[in-house]
Amino acid sequence: MKPMERSEVEKFIRELEQQLKVVVDFGENLLVKTGEGKIRLVPPDVFEAAMVMPGVQQMGLYVAKWRRYPTLTIEGCMFLCSADHTAVVELDREQALTWMKGGPVDVGKKAQLVIGVYRGFYLGSAVVDRTGRAYPQIPKWRRIPE
């Protein structure tokens, strides 16, 4: 595991601002890219300690995934400073449950990427198709079972 270079972090943050229309602040923490485009947030002292301990396979907080476009996890949304209202979708209880089960939610013709919010709590981001259905990017292990 190796921390992302400063230029790569800046590019990632720029893409979040352009595509998801959000401003994030990860502070002095390191961003570490792991398998499948996952990005973890790791405090520098934790990273240093992990580098001297053999066998450490994971560390930090899973905050985002970055493939063709960046998406934020629920934990990644904790680092939001601001979000454009066009990229935020207010969900009712039923929609929030569907979202957390990983099912599609009708949000109308919003942006291509949106962030779901239920009662002020961010539920991560979703990809919106042409018909206005949002497909939440919730990891399988995190979903509410059917």
Class of domain 6-142 as given by CATH = alpha beta
User: Would you kindly state where each structural domain of the chain is located, as residue ranges?
Assistant: 6-142
**DSSP annotation string for 42-78:** E-HHHHHHHHHSTT----SEEEEEESSSEEE-TTGGG
* Predicted local confidence at residue 58, as pLDDT: 87
Judging by DSSP bridges, how do beta strands 105-106 and 113-118 pair with one another? unpaired
Judged by DSSP in three states, 103 sits in coil
At 82 the pLDDT is: 93
- Write the pLDDT tens digit of every residue in 38-70: 999 999 999 999 989 988 888 999 999 998 899
Give the pLDDT confidence score for residue 2 in this predicted structure: 86
* 125, β-bridge pairs: 115
Helix (H) or strand (E) holding 1: none
pTM of the model: 0.88
**Stretch 75-95: mean pLDDT, rounded?**
94
**CA separation for the pair 37, 68 (Å, rounded):** 10
pLDDT at 124 exceeding the cut of 80: yes
Rounded to an integer, the average pLDDT of 105-129 is: 92
Cβ atoms of 46 and 57 within 8 Å: the answer is no
